[in-house]
Amino acid sequence: MNNVILAEIKSMLLEQNRILKIFVPNEISLSYICDSTGKSRQTIRNYLINNFEPEVDFFKKNGKIFLTRNTAVKIVRKYNAKR
């Protein structure tokens, strides 16, 4: 019975992951994350620099800072959990 429950949980998590990939783009701007979390650009920027890899988790494009999907989700979860 436990294997059935674990298989169902795994299936639901995989479905949520697919949904996330549909609705969240691969690149998300720093300004969008600031608006979503209510934190300043400086706060998010400092957190990025201290906790993530440049050119892997975030990068500059046309003079703007963009985050990868996974990085953006981690930051939004971190700051929205404190609300």
The string of pLDDT tens digits covering residues 7-63 is 999 999 999 888 888 888 899 999 999 998 999 999 999 999 999 999 999 999 999
Among 6, 77, 5, 63, which residue's Cα sits nearest to residue 30?
63
Domain 25-83 has CATH 1.10.1660: yes
Boundaries of every domain in the chain: 25-83
Placement of tokens 């429950």 in the chain: 5
The region, left, alpha or beta by phi > 0 then psi within -120 to 50, assigned to residue 64 is beta
* The model's pTM: 0.75
DSSP string spanning 6-72? HHHHHHHHHHHHHHHHHHS-SEEEHHHHHHHHT--HHHHHHHHHHHS-BTTTEEEETTEEEEEHHHH
